Amino acid sequence: MFLMRFTERAYVDYSEEDVRQSFRSAVRLTFPNAHFNPSLGADLYNTYLDEYEYSEEVGFDGLMLNEHHNTPTCMGAAMNLEAAILARTTKRAKIVLLGNPLPIFDNPLRLAEELAEIDMISRGRLVSGFVRGTGIESWATNTNPVYNRERFEEAHDLIIKTWTTPGPWRWEGKHYQFRVVNPFERPLQQPHPPVWIPGIGSPETLIWCAQHHYPYIYLETDPQVTLDLTAIYTEAAKRVGYEPGPQNFGYLVRVHVQDTDEKAYEVGKGFLIGNAGVGRVPLPGDFMAPPGYNSREGAKRIVDQYRRYSLRPDPLYGGVDSAGWEKVVESNRVIVGNPDTVVRKLREVLSVVRPGILGVWTNDGTIGHEDTMRCLALMEHDVLPAVREMGKELGLPGPFEHAP
């Protein structure tokens, strides 16, 4: 079992009214950056880096970062910079980037260079995840969403070839063309840093991951939906000749521990304004998925799958509001409690989903630094060792124990 810690590094110093007054009442994309206070931003970036460094101390195997643009819900607009800092200030934990949104980069070679540097500075601790990005990333960078998947796949192929094929050579693709591909600095890990792919279950991405033997990290999907999605991956893996195991799957879930169930239940409510933003004002659907961003088949499949269950995977889409915090906690979509409660609930989830990688989303929204540090401290002795044992007992090897 590979245990990694995550937070979206939220900025929450704004009001619901501020969100409602933005263009199309959106907390992402068009929410005016006049609401950002760089002094507070400076404090928050440093606090969040401190928390990541402490996460290594308490025993996490990985420090997971993500990237979003034009949003207060995630301050990781330039995730690779945070990764580069952690590469230098931490010593043991993997630096897990989930991930760089490939389609929005016009120069994937620059990305290959940045990631190679991070891999070398960290002495081979980089896990280089790639994502398509939400629709917001396409809007924010003016990347045509119709070509999102094509650009994702081509940029991926170009980066992997850049890392693995001695240069110089030439690339003449549909979306990218380079005369002389020959970045001098190559990654330390050979043939290249591990690639993991996070997502909420686009069938095309699951199949593509299975074909590439890349672990797929479910981003807090409904456990029952997750089983359906795993079946898509498994079927595709079998078609290319292998049987995937827990090492091929990861699961990200919000987990907040406090000394008592009551305190965790109260503090955990801070998650609710995490990636949905203060006020939880629903985002316009076409901001998250502009026309052409999803294949029509993929979009329909996602909707159909989640319609079958009462809770959707992400509070962003209104699931938490309609279900209520109590039901969310009851159904283990967000896990809060004292260490014993959290370990028990994690067993319920891990027994069903069976991931070899567990992403522990410890804090977000209004969950403050003090509560976060207490949560991490409690995890050191009272949660992480138990989850590791549980992983062994349930037969859930991570991708560093068993090659995907």
Partner 1 sequence: MPEHAEHTIEVGGATIHYLKGGRGKPLVMLHGAEGSLGWRQYHEQLAESFTVYAPTCPGFGQSERPPWLESFTDLTRFSLWLLDALELSQVTLAGHFIGGWLAAEMAVMSPRTFEHLILIDAAGIQPRDGEIADVFLHGQEGTRQLAYFDPQQVAEYAELFQHKPSKEERDIQTRNQETLVRYCWKPYMFSPSLPGLLGRVQLPTLIIWGQDDRIVPLECSALYQHALPNARVEIIPQCGNCPPLEKPTECVRLIRNFLV
Structure tokens at 211: 């074909």
Contact window for partner 1 (CB under 8 A) among 178-186, 286-294, 342-350, 376-384: 286-294
Question: Residues binding partner 1: what is the number (CB under 8 A)?
Answer: 14
* DSSP secondary structure letter of residue 307: H
> Pattern 122-161, binding to partner 1, x per CB under 8 A?
-----------------x--x-xxx---------------
Q: How far is the CB of 26 from partner 1 (least distance, A)?
A: 10
Among 203, 270, 290, 397, binds partner 1 (CB under 8 A): 290
CB proximity list for 235: less than 8 A, separation 6 or greater = 210
Contacting range for partner 1; rule: CB under 8 A; set: 43-51, 83-91, 282-290, 353-361: 282-290
135, containing H or E segment: helix 135-141
Long-range contacts, 347-351 (Cβ 8 Å, 24+): 347/390, 349/223, 349/251, 349/253, 350/251, 350/387, 350/390, 350/391, 350/394, 350/396, 351/394
Question: Shortest Cβ distance from residue 11 to partner 1 (Å)?
Answer: 23
The interface with partner 1 within residues 291-350 (CB under 8 A) comprises: 291-292, 296
Contact track, partner 1, 15-34, x by CB under 8 A: --------xx-----x----
Task: Find, among 371, 369, 383, the residue nearest to 40 by Cα.
Answer: 369
% helix, strand, coil for the chain, step of 5? 50, 15, 35
Using the rule CB under 8 A, which residue among 43, 235, 259, 286 binds partner 1? 286
Task: Specify the residue, 144 or 366, whose C-beta has the smaller distance to partner 1.
Answer: 144
Q: Is 80 helix (H, G, I), strand (E, B) or coil?
A: helix
CB of 104 to partner 1, least distance (A): 13
Tokens coding 181: 């591909």
Minimum CB distance to partner 1 smaller for 146 or for 240:
146
Contact between 41 and partner 1 (CB under 8 A)?
Answer: no
Name residues whose C-beta falls within 8 Å of residue 46's C-beta, 6 or more positions apart in sequence: none
Q: How far is the CB of 139 from partner 1 (least distance, A)?
A: 7
Q: What's the min distance (Å) between Cβ of 284 and partner 1?
A: 6
| Distance (Å) of CA 159 to CA 66, 94, 153, 207 | 19, 20, 10, 20
**Least separation, in Å, of the C-beta of 88 and partner 1?**
37
Which residues here bind partner 1, judged by CB under 8 A?
Answer: 23-24, 30, 139, 142, 144-146, 284, 286, 290-292, 296
